[in-house]
Structure 1
Amino acid sequence: MRVSELPSTEYAEFYAGYVKLIPDLTLRSALDESAAALLDVITHVPENKFDYAYAPGKWTVKQTLQHILDTERIFIVRALRIARGDKSALPGFDHEAFANVMDVSQRDFKPMIEEFRHVRQSALMMFKNFTEADMLRIGTVSGGPASTRAVGFIIAGHTFHHARHYREVFGLGQAG
């Protein structure tokens, strides 16, 4: 199934912006290509930019990657719970509250990149092994509907969003 075939009734309007960032790809391709887009940027960040923030009070390059890691993990758990038929309403999370307590000052950026690769590989393996019935299940996330497959596309769209953010806001891109 391609993202263009994903009914908007399978995700809350809040997530539409992420879904719209995805080219007309299958879920597997969207997860692969969004990871590649992010890695294309973050693997070329010069060391002197790891702790760079484009404005006072904004997240640094490292903090943004930690946010991507945290968000991906939360959405992986959401997809798993929905796929397994959990009818609990899954709450939202306050990414700003996470950012206020996360301390990445002592973290090395390059291992964070490797961590992203592993987290995404875990997501890919999980989605690969869901059945069609698992993918079609709908739960409640942040007060709105969410199918397992929609959560996968939201993961990809969130990653595309931050890859673009790194390029446009931080002024980062490919080497050379």
Structure 2
Amino acid sequence: MKLNVLIVVILLMTSCGKNNKTAEVFKEATEKVVENEINNLDTELEVYDYAGFETFLNKKDNKVYVINFWATWCAPCVKELPYFEKLNSEYKNKNVEVILVSLDFPHLYDKKLKPFIKDKKLSSKVIALDDVDMNTWIPKVDESWSGSIPATIIYKNDNRKFYEQSFTYEELEKEVKKFL
């Protein structure tokens, strides 16, 4: 709604005030607001500290959860993201949910993470984990986790398995099928 109003304002300003300096300044400012609105469409990002995120690790609803820890600066993570996207696409109707947990730096959410999500057209649920006390929450995710990424948890109710590795699609699908 806000975007539509701004577009109408721009159209009015461009048609009525071409020789008016104030109208030009207003037009430029309004265009920047519209550009920002367009850039922020569909890039809402849920951000959690560990306490808020922990609920994603403990759902007991007979659904298979595939939770991948990754970051835009991690080349192996980025390389395997298409496999998680394919899994999400092919298994979402089979009671499987893929959650991509970004460990990107909070000051880069707007400049790097959100544009990455938009550019790659990620359709899986993407959340950001912003909790600086990694030494506390990493062993809570899994006692064997060194903290390296990519890392993935696949679980259904109380049955869970942790993987500190990269996946091919075939490997990922094989592991998920064990939970179906």
- State TM-score, norm by structure 1: 0.25
Structure number with larger C-alpha Rg: 2
Higher relative contact order (CA 8 A, sep 6+): 1
Structure with more strand by fraction? 2
